[in-house]
Amino acid sequence: MITVEFTSVLKNFFPTLRTEYLEAGDLQSLVEAMDRKYPGFSNYITEDTGNLREHVHIYIGDIPIRRGSDLREKLAPSDKVFIFQAISGG
């Protein structure tokens, strides 16, 4: 199963968010599975086009998924996915 982890900042929007262990063939199906567990999750991390939002970052292991990606990246059952929101301020 794929391990999905998050930064604690995302708990501000999804208070029950926790490390998940999911089966998914690609990032899109992983995001859909997360949305079923945490309604609104998909809209929070993707644009209306389905691409990754500018200030959301995803890593599969050590490999970053680029902004604007359409989330078709394939996943292996042993992958670890890390999702986080970039924070800026002054």
Q: Over the stretch 49-59, which tens digit does the pLDDT of each residue have? A: 888 888 899 99
Task: State the Cα–Cα distance between residues 44 and 59, nearest whole angstrom.
Answer: 17
Task: State the Cα–Cα distance between residues 24 and 21, nearest whole angstrom.
Answer: 10
Q: What is the pLDDT of residue 20?
A: 97
What ranges do the domains of the chain cover? 2-85
What is the number of other CB atoms lying within 10 angstroms of the CB of residue 32?
A: 14
Categorize the per-residue pLDDT at 81 as very low, low, confident or very high, splitting at 50, 70 and 90.
very high
Instruction: Work out the average pLDDT over 76-81.
Output: 96
Average pLDDT, the chain: 91
pLDDT above 70 (res 42): yes
pLDDT above 60 (res 90): no
3-state helix, strand, coil in the chain (%, to 5): 25, 30, 50
pTM: 0.89
2-85: CATH number = 3.10.20.30
Task: State the Cα–Cα distance between residues 25 and 48, nearest whole angstrom.
Answer: 22
Q: What is the pLDDT of residue 58?
A: 94
